[in-house]
Structure 1
Amino acid sequence: MNKIAIHDSSIRHTTGQAIYIDDIPDQENLLHGALVLSKCAYGKIKKIDFSRLKNLTFYTKTVTAKNIPGENEIGPIKNGEPILADDNITYYGQPVAVVLAKTFQEAQYASDLVKIEIDHLDDPILTLDDAYSKNSFHDDPIILEKGSVEKEMNNSKFKKSGEFEIGGQDHFYIETHVAITFPGENDEYIVWSSTQHPTEVQHGVSKVLNIPSAKIDSKVRRLGGGFGGKESQATIFAGISALCAFITQQPVKIRLNRHNDMTASGKRHNFKVYFTAGFSSNAKINALDITLLSNGGNVLDLSGPVMTRALTHLDNCYFIKSIKAYGYICKTNTVSNTAFRGFGGPQGMLVIENILFSISQFLNKSLDHVRQVNYYSKSNGLITPYGQIVSKPRIEWILDETYKLSDYKKRLKQIETFNSTQQKNRLPFRKGLALMPAKFGISFNKPSFNQAGALIHVYSDGSIRLNHGGTEMGQGLFVKVSQVVAECFKVSLDQIHITSTNTAEVPNTSATAASSGSDLNGMAAWNAAFTIKKRMIDHASQLFKKPKSEIIFEQGRILAGNKSLSFTELAFSCWENRISLSSTGFYKTPKIHWDQGKLKGHPYFYFTWGAAVSEALIDINTGENRILRADIIQDCGNSLNENIDIGQIEGGFIQGLGWLTCEELCFSQEGKLLTTGPSTYKLPGSRDVPPIFNVKLLENADNEEK
């Protein structure tokens, strides 16, 4: 397999030839839609005043929830999530109506003229503290329990309690939410949506229009970034586009500008954490009592599984003897938060890492020591709080490689000397060196989502057409799955033609999320390709008059002893002899099971491990800071594409750097988001990339389930 193959769209990206949804040429009768957003966080709609549109010199048409022929509902898990507010407003910036016009600019201008008369209800709930004090929750708490917390807490020599907050984060994908719907005959619709989950778009549009899913083609060739923000929330805007196309029987495009995208779409969940830890004089944790509050926003969306993943990552790399953790999903009058890279896992890891840091400060021991005495091991224990066994922990291997790559112990001493010199000379600079280990579970928490399909055609000229249920959002999934197919047939990568994700070709797909896209879709594509390959082997065996065991596919040729055919020749011969060269493929993740009520089971097929060492410099007078160096070791198993994986690791590090150092969501007292663009929402830039940035994949590290 070509492990350094370039991204299939890299040339088109850099030359501007990659076609995104907004680049699809406008049809003559295309209408553009602009959203009318609420300017109140909590209230009842009295009237939507469109009267000022009558004086405009250009065409407009308005659409509200009253025009929906089906259900005003797109909730991915539970009902109660409308595409347009009907009677009640539940957050500042909620879509209330749509104005259609013949150009984007006209639609946007006209939407600003619409006035919404609202009866303000009670004071909106805008913070986690408010929600917690008022018992404003989306559901009962999700509870994770193991061992006897009360007993182990009482037997612990020391106890430490504390609280802290973890901020939210905007996805800030380059391409904002966008969708185009084309109406056809017989109530058929084609929906192009910038979505990570075409099937969810299909289902949402089906509900809104009251039309069977079979009549709706949900398609996407590529996204200009997703990071989880287009897993469920894209369905809102695709649903609005489809509704408008249904009403007008014309194609309708909905494209949000940056301000409206940040205002109306969800973010990473912010958390508040309360904890009590019981531990020994050597820093061994005996018991943890934790309460997690997450900001679900106005509706539930995916907040349930986000909280579940946060709870199942509270252990990170550490064995915890006894734990009781309550996860409350707070209902607030802010935009509904949603999936975001890591899906609650990073928040869960930060919880335990903050607790370990508190213990290290309390005992005056190094954080490295506190971690070391608590890592998963045969002597400490290998059972997670949710009952899964960590059968093959790789933390010691990861740490050994990280220490070597970063020269960690030597640099600790150098930094200590640097800081001492700065203090003695009353200079303002200080350095710090931080290590962060991570264990992340691979699979969706809900077992039914761990499935994928693919469709492969081999044509008589030897070219291969590939379609599968995954979506390409820049992360390189399409080239990875193409590599899998090329490897199966032993042909060059340029023989594989990648096609747009389309529910008409592969149905009932899962979201491209949970770090599972390559596993699920790659295996489905392999199964489809292997089905065809077996048919070709059967035919080649007859052609060469050799047993099937002697037929070898290699470098674009099919070999049998001293005879051979090209792949193209064999494909043509199969066609001539009426042998099917088309197959679907299906894959479901084995060995996983989960009881959401008890929060017990084996939810993850395997774990991936990693660690990062970061060196920071700060001016203690001004607060100005810079990451000078980062060293990362990541366990990617036997990587399908090392270039792609390293690029994703680098990007993930910088996105995490932004989350924890400079990105901050600010709301007014009325619930209005004040940070709605790069001028007010500080993103990491090119100068924030560490000047020394080393990323290395763990070598000879086959998947533990191989």
Structure 2
Amino acid sequence: MRHFKTDKPSGSTKNAIGSSFIHESAVKQVIGKAAYIDDRPEEVNSLHAYPVLSTISSGKILSIDTSDALQIEGVVAIYGTQDIPGKNDIGPVFSGDILLTDDVIEYHSQPILLVVATSYQTARIAARKVAIEYQETAAVIDIKEAIANKSWVRPPHALHRGDAQQAIKDATHQVSGELYVGGQEHFYLEGQVSIATPTEDGGMFIQSSSQHPSEVQHLVAKVLNQPFNYITVEMRRMGGAFGGKETQAAPWACLAALAAYYTGRSVKIRLARSDDFKSTGKRHPFYNTYQVGFDDNGLITGVDIDINGYCGYSPDLSDAIVDRALFHADNAYYYPNAHINGNRCKTNTVSNTAFRGFGGPQGMIMAEQLVDDIAYYLGKDPLEIRKLNLYAPGRDLTPYKQKVEQFILQDMIAQMEQESDYWARKAAIESFNKTSPIIKKGLSLTPVKFGISFTVQHLNQAGALVVIYSDGTVHVNHGGTEMGQGLNTKIAQIVAQTLSIDMQYILVNATRTDKVPNTSPTAASSGTDLNGMAALNAANTIKERLFEFAATHFDVKPDSLALVDNQLTHEKGQISFAELINLAYLNRISLSSTGFYATPEIYYDREKAEGHPFFYYAYGIALSEVEIDVLTGENTVTRVDILHDVGNSINPALDVGQIEGAFIQGMGWLTTEDLSWNDNGVLASNAPATYKIPAIGDTPAEFNVTLYDSKNPATTVFKSKAVGEPPFMLGISVWSALRNAVASITDYQFAPSLNTPATAECVLGAVQVAKDWLQDQKSEKQGTDKKGTGDA
């Protein structure tokens, strides 16, 4: 473990860690020189491929006629299931994800054939010319139908502690509710694209816009029935991913490889945006219900939560995603007695997949709904109920039996209350709402406690390769992938800090499976945690070799050696880092090293439904202020204040950027991004014209982001914390604030359920429910008054 020294080297005045270095690709991206897969020059005689997609959602194929397509000039071949030399099932964890089908259709736009042609346009036109006759059957689109039929892609799994139902029954008060949680399209700017090129040894070189190069390598090998070492996958950068390229990039790489295998030529696949929408998985929609028991103060005594993930036709990653939803159904709150069940519902839609938060948001929003509902039931401020139920010493065991060991949310909330004038703003908003009949304001502060680690244990590992050339420059490869989040920049900072050299001497290059093997996906907010530690391990190994050599060569005490500001210093003098490296080379000292890291302490016993699945938790809070128009449901976010915990920040500018982007994306998930299927299972919102992501005009007019001053108590790279996913769930504060604005109509006595996305139509519906409730209360009161008068 000595190679995992995570404290900053002493004596250095050039601290790479904690400095806001510019993203390594920023300038290239701005001036258009950053190359993506589709920018690569095409090889001579290269080909293009495009899939033939089903036009029904459920049924069987009766016949296929490719004659018209094959007659089109430029069409080279059409391949189907019979042409696959190896496996047709590319399920990442469990079987069931089919590459091509020739029989059963299980979702609209399911790939059936692959057309290969001399141009992209020709391949697309020919794909549409293939005539397919179907026997259509009724598609299961409604999640409640799947629940009623107990139609699962994987068996249910539940967490238990105590007797939840008895605790609820014995509680002073009980409240129940339900919530439909909408899905979300990844909407990466760079769509799904892959290039496969045959190699001289009979293998395949794959360039894929993928978060998981090793999985692409393994699946291409299995489809082609070749050993893994014959397949090399490279990924330099992605134009966005957000989870949509963790498993969803693999089918297109496999199909490109299949075509290249038969034609012996380089083949590219690039999906059109509308087909990308229809043929790739989304964030899972959920349908959740809850019961909660609590006392007069609002202290929770028991919860019973049912979580139902809308998985689509196959398992994909749904088992782990619904698990994480279960693990986060408590969010930051202690449940003394809990039963939390998770169902993986099968439907005739494309298989849903990873998305930023990986199920955590869909579970966490239930905790915030039930806390809000308790507050409105008791006539208290929701923040009071939140603070009362936070994890605290002695109330620190999660429903999956992991002990919470850091309690910083109390301090973070206190800091936010003071710096953002929470109580004064709340009073001002309540006063405004009393005199404003059309515009209503809402305010909500919600916390985040997000577990960091893959829920699949073996994925919590990473490798790196660090090479120092004889001129003192450093080349780094690691198993993570750069998708715009700044991972390569942070890895460069880690290596620069370890060797105490300037960033200009570090180059982090493409992820390649022949340089760093058996990589895990860049997901679960673990990119820097895992790959940063692996790079640190490699750099420390070389550093110790250099110290051992220098101690002998200069005949000095080992403890007098230090790398400081591009120099090696010792008791007899100093030497520049470049001179040291050249001297080591001339003396035959190895100047390269692999590094490896596996996250310690994590496990989960599925049979017992308990364990320690997360290495640590990342925390954050967001205070959102909104306005709604009660006549139209239109709404806007006017101000947001965020305080987020990233431990010792490696790069504050990148971290703030991730927090801002994640919050806006979470806000979009809950307010504007509306996935809509028709009754036949066809995705109607399949283009930017029908699917609205947040634009610059949706950004809060006042948007304050502050990094919480702390360090990670866990042994992570330079005591930093993950930042990719946790701030996404800060967007829940916007949804909660919208409910608060609607609740003002009832003088905060009742808040209607607000399904997500809370579009203008949805908000308007909730406004009407609130008005109806208020009218019912008045009618009941009038009836009671009249009855009292009559009796008199």
Q: Which residue of structure 2 aligns with residue 396 of structure 1? A: 410
Is it true that 1:438 corresponds to 2:452 in the alignment? no
| 2:19 is the counterpart of 1:9 | no
Note the 1:650-665 alignment, pairs <5 A: 650-665=660-675
Deviations 1:492-549 (A, max 9, x none): 1111111100110011111101011101000000000111111111122123221111
TM-aligned CA deviation for residue 413 of structure 1: 1.6
| SS in structure 2 at match of 1:208 | helix
* 1:610 pairs with 2:620: yes
Would you say 1:452 and 2:462 are equivalent positions? yes
Render the CA deviation track for 1:573-620: whole Å, top value 9, x for unaligned: 111001100100000111111112322101111001000011111222
Distance (whole Å) between structure 1 residues aligned to residue 214 and residue 453 of structure 2 = 18
After superposition, residues 23-422 of structure 1 pair within 5 angstroms as 23-121=39-137, 123-378=138-393, 381-422=395-436
Shift of residue 116 of structure 1?
1.6
**Residue 569 (structure 1) shift:** 0.6
Contact 2:310 2:347 in 1 (8 A): yes
Question: What residue ranges of structure 1 are gaps of 5+ in the alignment?
Answer: none
Match of 2:754 in 1: none
Tell me the distance in 1 between the aligned counterparts of 2:115 and 2:166.
62
For 1:672 and 1:60, locate their aligned partners in 2 and report how far apart those are by CA, in whole Å. 30
Distance, in Å, in 2 between the alignment partners of 1:138 and 1:34 is 28
Q: Give the stretch that moved more between structures: 559-568 or 197-206.
A: 559-568
Partners of 2:305 and 2:440 in 1: how far apart?
A: 33
Kept in 2: contact 1:178–1:193 (CA 8 A): yes
The CA distance in 2 between the partners of 1:337 and 1:44, in whole Å, is 22
| Equivalence for 1:629 | 639
TM-superposition CA deviations, 1:225-248 (whole Å, max 9, x none) = 010111111111111111111111
| Equivalent residue number for residue 565 of structure 1 | 575
Q: What do residues 388-420 of structure 1 show as CA deviations (whole Å, max 9, x unaligned)?
A: 110112111221222234222221122122222
Please list the CA deviations of residues 623-669 of structure 1 after superposition, one character each: whole Å capped at 9, or x if unmatched: 22111111101100001110001000000011011100011001111
Please say if residues 68 and 209 of structure 1, whose CA atoms lie closer than 8 Å, have aligned partners that are also in contact: yes
Letter in 2 for 1:667: W
Letter in 2 for 1:564: Q
CA distance in 2 between partners of 1:56 and 1:678 (Å): 31
Partners of 2:80 and 2:422 lie apart in 1 by 60
Cα distance in structure 2, aligned partners of 1:413 and 1:361: 16
- Which of 485, 493, 499 aligns to 2:495? It is 485
Contact 1:436/1:612 (CA < 8 Å) preserved in 2? yes
Residue 7 of structure 2 corresponds to which residue in structure 1? none
Query: Whole-Å Cα distance in 2 between the matches of residues 197 and 87 of structure 1?
Result: 29
Identity value in percent: 44
- The Cα RMSD (Å) is 1.2
Output the amino acid matched with 2:599: T
Instruction: Give the conservation status (yes or no) of the 8 Å contact 1:405–1:631.
Output: no
Give the CA deviation at 1:372: 1.8
> How far did residue 704 of structure 1 move?
4.4
Q: In 2, distance between residues paired with 1:39 and 1:87? A: 14
Letter in 1 for 2:226: I
What SS is found at the alignment partner of 1:324? strand
The equivalent residue for 1:505 is 515
Report what 1:596 is aligned to: 606
Counterpart contact for 2:387–2:410, Cα < 8 Å: no
Q: Following the alignment from structure 2 to structure 1, what is the Cα–Cα distance between the partners of residues 628 and 158? A: 40
Instruction: Report deviation, 1:284.
Output: 1.2
- 1:348-374 Cα offsets, whole Å, 9 max, x none, are 110111111222222222211221221
Instruction: Tell which deviates more after alignment, 366-375 or 520-529.
Output: 366-375
Q: Which amino acid aligns with 2:505?
A: Q
Q: Give the superposition deviation at 1:154.
A: 2.5
Question: Match for 2:537 among 527, 540, 548?
Answer: 527
Aligned equivalents of 1:279, 1:59: Cα separation in 2: 68
Following superposition, which runs of at least 4 residues in structure 1 exceed 3 angstroms of deviation?
Answer: 700-706
Tell me the equivalent position of 1:544.
554
Q: Which amino acid aligns with 1:561?
A: E
Q: Which residue of 2 aligns with 1:682?
A: 692
The counterpart of 1:554, out of the listed 564, 585, 589, is: 564
Amino acid aligned to 2:171: S
The offset of 1:691, in angstroms, is 1.4
Q: What SS class does the counterpart of residue 22 from structure 2 fall into?
A: coil
- Aligned residue number for residue 587 of structure 1: 597
Q: Secondary structure at the match of 2:179?
A: strand
Aligned partners of 1:432 and 1:615 also within 8 Å: yes
Question: How much has 1:150 moved relative to structure 2?
Answer: 3.0
Assess if the C-alpha contact under 8 Å between 1:415 and 1:431 holds in 2.
yes
Range with greater deviation from structure 2 (357-366 or 436-445): 357-366
Partners of 2:457 and 2:693 in 1: CA distance:
35
Q: C-alpha displacement at 1:562, in angstroms?
A: 5.2
Distance in 1 of aligned mates of 2:304 and 2:24: 48
Q: State how far apart, in whole Å, the 1-side matches of 2:131 and 2:663 are.
A: 43
Look up the match of 1:649.
659
1:147, distance to aligned residue in structure 2 (A): 1.1
**For 1:623 and 1:44, how far apart are their aligned partners in 2?**
43
- The whole-number CA distance in structure 2 between the counterparts of 1:156 and 1:327 is 24
Deviation digits for residues 538-570 of structure 1 (CA, Å, limit 9, x no counterpart)? 122123221111111011111113511111111
C-alpha distance in 2 between matches for 1:190 and 1:18: 21
- In 1, the alpha carbon distance for the partners of 2:419 and 2:32 equals 37
Q: In structure 2, what is the Cα distance between the partners aligned to 1:19 and 1:496?
A: 20
State the AA in 2 paired with 1:673.
Answer: L
On the 8 A contact 1:392/1:704 being kept in 2, the answer is no
Distance in 2 separating the partners of 1:331 and 1:456: 45
CA distance in 1, matches of 2:248, 2:101: 15
Distance in 2, matches of 1:44 and 1:86, equals 8
In terms of mean alpha carbon deviation, does 278-287 or 216-225 score higher? 278-287
| Whole-Å separation in 2 of the counterparts to 1:174 and 1:223 | 9
TM-score, normalised via structure 1 length: 0.98
Report the AA paired with residue 494 of structure 2. V
Question: How far apart in 1 are the matches of 2:38 and 2:607?
Answer: 43
Secondary structure of 1:630's partner?
strand
* Distance in 2, Cα, partners of 1:26 & 1:57: 20
